[in-house]
Amino acid sequence: MLGLLIEFSKSAVLAVQEYVQLQVATIRGVFSRPFYFHDVVEQFDAIGIGSLTVVLLTGFFTGAVLALQSGITLDQFGARPFVGRLISASMIKELGPVLTGLMLAGRIGSGIAAELGSMVVTDQINALRALGTDPVRKLVVPRVLAGFFMTPVLTVISDTVGILGGWIVAVYQLGVASSLYWTSITEALYLQDAWMGIIKPFILGYVIVTIGCYVGLGTKGGTQGVGRSTTNAVVAASVAVIAVDYFVTRVLITLLY
Amino acid sequence: MPTFAIRDAETLERRSSPDRPAVVFKHVSLAFDGKAILRDISFTLLPGHTKIILGASGSGKSTILKLILGLLKPDGGEIWIHGSRVDRMPEAEMMKVRNHLGMVFQEGALFDSLTVGENVGYKLYEETDMPLDDVRRRVEEVLGFVRLSEHIEKMPSELSGGQRRRVAIARAMAFKPPTLLYDEATTGLDPITATTIDEEIVKLRDIENVSSIVVTHQLRDAFFVATHEAIRLGDQIEISPADAKKCDEAEFIMLKDGVLIFEGNAAELRASTDPYVQTFLS
Ligand SMILES: Nc1ncnc2c1ncn2[C@@H]1O[C@H](COP(=O)(O)OP(=O)(O)OP(=O)(O)O)[C@@H](O)[C@H]1O
Ligand SMILES: [Mg+2]
């Protein structure tokens, strides 16, 4: 029993060490040559534009359902007209970043793990190295850059359509005046909230992509291994999104407020 | 094409120094998870010569090639590639040594997101500053060499198994490495296609003076490569049975469970009285 525990903690320490090493190599790859510019552009397109549909849909319906639910709650206090305040605050600070993060963990985390994993088991990663290319620079750096810079963009889009979704429900279902909705949206919005909402997705995007790359490159054992990696990447990235969100929020609250 | 011209000159210089072996293994050993995969392996590949590695499945043949490329590091012993010691070399430096080595992976390992032409020219496009027109010309040239010119725009998934192997050979030779490593380049192919690949190997060795390591468990192909030579006759390249001196430049190595149990030329292999070699040959 104790032996098993020691075994487990050993492998956990080793995994963390490898994960950190990958990040160091990635950051070094961002700031030194060779830099595969073409692959970076390709990944911005695949990760950014490719994720637009799911982000639009989740953002919209999150805002809409938020309006419905808070409408009921606010009615108890006769505060229905303030529905906009609740939506903007919760969408921009929490739900936008976290739900976008979760959707990206599912879409990008799994995609990266599957792609890199199948490159590992078919020796394509070895072939890259044999041809003189560092797989971290060629494959990991472009994906990490794309995740880091596109997640905030996608989050802002998600926030925007969320607020629009809330507006539709507020006006057409709750009967709140349109102008009242918009004033209460802006009234409740403090600068700190905006900062919180924009800093988080950078970190979440970075975490999702580095986990996908780490799990993908560590794939072992044929096609089955690729399946296992894909699942592991989604689970690990999703849990990480929620956990990292909590810790980042704590740090930002002490720093900003 | 200045950069490439310089590299060609270097390549020639490397090839023409007969005192500097292409590959040397000295008492190399390797274990995975406590299980010995290779034990005390020593051999030398001279420039322009051929090493043929025979052995049953799982005997460690692919592992030897991965050690040469530095994709794996040995637990003990020394590995020398064209005069540099690589068994402890850091990855960044290893990248330079890999310029001397072309590898044909066991399943081809073509990049399935790139076309045939992009696969073949990969190293020239991405890792050299050779002008694109010259790369294009070189890609067409090597695809012509393996007789796949008309497939340049296809994706690897649209090719047959034998065609994919030939693309893998074209990719490995495109940047003119002085040493080529072939991992089961003919396994699972019909005898006719296998012979065309054997002929490419012989042609590269004798016309381009490439040192080769040929891993296989197909004796037919092993003996074909060992006992034939390519001669240029005007525009034509002719493959014919080699004389005894040429045959001596091809050496066989037989592995059994990670141990080297035989080393010698084709005639010696046929004459061996070792029971395991006997079973393998029959
Ligand atoms: N990454 C690895 N981890 C653990 N064991 C490995 C690994 N790679 C290879 N092995 C083991 O090393 C041994 C030799 O493998 P290798 O691929 O060199 O065999 P081979 O001679 O090329 O066989 P084949 O003819 O089937 O290709 C096998 O027993 C294999 O199980
Ligand atoms: Mg093998």
Per-residue pLDDT at A4: 87
Measured in Å, residue B58 CA sits from the centre of ligand 1 at: 5
Sequence-distant (6+) residues with CB within 8 A of B64 are: B25, B38, B41, B53, B213, B215, B255
Neighboring chain B residues of A130 at a CB cutoff of 8 Å: 69, 71, 98, 101, 103, 105
- Measured between alpha carbons, how far is A129 from A138 in angstroms, rounded to an integer? 10
- The model's confidence at residue B2, banded by pLDDT at 50, 70 and 90, is very low
- The model's confidence at residue B16, banded by pLDDT at 50, 70 and 90, is very low
Sequence-distant (6+) residues with CB within 8 A of B35 are: none
- Determine contact, residues B73/B89, Cβ cutoff 8 Å: no
Residue B254: other Cβ atoms inside 10 A: 23
- The CA distances from residue B120 to B124, B169, B182, B252, B259, in Å, are 9, 9, 16, 30, 35
- Which residue's alpha carbon is at the smallest distance from atom 4 of ligand 1? B32
Measured in Å, residue B101 CA sits from the centre of ligand 1 at: 21
**Preferred mutation among B126, B129, B184, B215 to probe A, highest tally of A CBs within 10 A:** B126
Give residue limits of the domains in chain A: 36-256
**For residues B246 and B22, which has the higher predicted lDDT (pLDDT)?**
B22
Chain B nearest-CA distance from A36, in A, is: 8
- Which residue's alpha carbon is at the smallest distance from atom 29 of ligand 1? B58
Which candidate from A34, A123, A134 shows the least CB-CB separation from B105? A123
User: How big is the A-B interface in CB pairs under 8 Å?
Assistant: 52
**Interface check A129 vs B, CB under 8 A:** yes
Question: Mean pLDDT throughout B5-10?
Answer: 46
Question: Mean pLDDT throughout B174-197?
Answer: 87
Q: Which domains does chain B show, CATH number per domain?
A: 23-100+177-281 (3.40.50.300)
- The model's confidence at residue B4, banded by pLDDT at 50, 70 and 90, is very low
Task: Scan residues 150-189 of B and list those with Cβ closer than 8 Å to A.
Answer: 171
Cβ <8 Å between B103 and A127: yes
Q: pLDDT for B111-165, tens place per residue?
A: 999 999 999 999 999 888 888 888 899 999 889 888 888 999 999 999 988 889 8
Which uninterrupted H or E stretch holds B205? helix B191-207
Coil, strand or helix: which one is B13?
helix
**Interface check A39 vs B, CB under 8 A:** no
Tell me the two tokens of residue A136: 């971290």
Whether the upstream peptide bond of residue A34 has omega within 30° of 0, thus cis, is yes
Reply yes or no on whether the pLDDT at B180 is more than 90: yes
Neighboring chain B residues of A134 at a CB cutoff of 8 Å: 91, 95
Cβ <8 Å between B109 and A129: no
Question: Mean pLDDT throughout A54-73?
Answer: 91
- The model's confidence at residue A134, banded by pLDDT at 50, 70 and 90, is very high
Neighboring chain A residues of B89 at a CB cutoff of 8 Å: none
Buried b (16+ CB within 10 A) or exposed e, B84-112: eebbebeeeebbebbbbbbbbbbbbbbbe
**For residues B18 and B41, which has the higher predicted lDDT (pLDDT)?**
B41
Question: Mean pLDDT throughout A86-112?
Answer: 93
The phi, psi pair for B235, rounded to 5°, reads -85, -15
Question: Mean pLDDT throughout B182-188?
Answer: 87
Reply yes or no on whether the pLDDT at B10 is more than 80: no
Neighboring chain B residues of A124 at a CB cutoff of 8 Å: 109-112
- The model's confidence at residue B19, banded by pLDDT at 50, 70 and 90, is low
For the CA of B60, the closest atom of ligand 1 is: 18
pLDDT over 90 for what percent of chain B? 39
For the CA of B59, the closest atom of ligand 1 is: 21
Cβ <8 Å between A34 and B99: no
Chain B nearest-CA distance from A158, in A, is: 31
Q: pLDDT for A177-214, tens place per residue?
A: 888 889 888 887 888 888 999 999 999 999 999 999 99
**Preferred mutation among A131, A133, A226 to probe B, highest tally of B CBs within 10 A:** A131
| Closest residue by Cα to residue A99 from A146, A57, A128, A130 | A57
Cβ <8 Å between A132 and B91: no
By CB atoms closer than 10 A (0-12, 13-18, 19+), residue B132 is exposed
Buried b (16+ CB within 10 A) or exposed e, A49-61: ebbeebbbebbbe
Cβ <8 Å between B123 and A132: yes
- Measured between alpha carbons, how far is A141 from A150 in angstroms, rounded to an integer? 14
- Measured between alpha carbons, how far is B118 from B135 in angstroms, rounded to an integer? 10
Query: Ligand 1: does its nearest atom lie under 6 Å from the Cβ of B39?
Result: no
B134 dihedral zone (left: phi>0; alpha: psi -120 to 50; beta):
alpha
Residue B38: other Cβ atoms inside 10 A: 27
- Measured between alpha carbons, how far is B206 from B201 in angstroms, rounded to an integer? 9
Per-residue pLDDT at B15: 47
For the CA of B66, the closest atom of ligand 1 is: 18
Sequence-distant (6+) residues with CB within 8 A of B123 are: A131, A132, A133, B171, B174, B175
Sequence-distant (6+) residues with CB within 8 A of B10 are: none
**Preferred mutation among A43, A118, A123 to probe B, highest tally of B CBs within 10 A:** A123
Chain B residue with the nearest C-alpha to that of A33: B127
- The model's confidence at residue B12, banded by pLDDT at 50, 70 and 90, is very low
- Measured between alpha carbons, how far is B47 from B208 in angstroms, rounded to an integer? 11
Query: Ligand 1: does its nearest atom lie under 6 Å from the Cβ of B58?
Result: yes
Question: Mean pLDDT throughout B18-38?
Answer: 87
Question: Mean pLDDT throughout A44-56?
Answer: 93
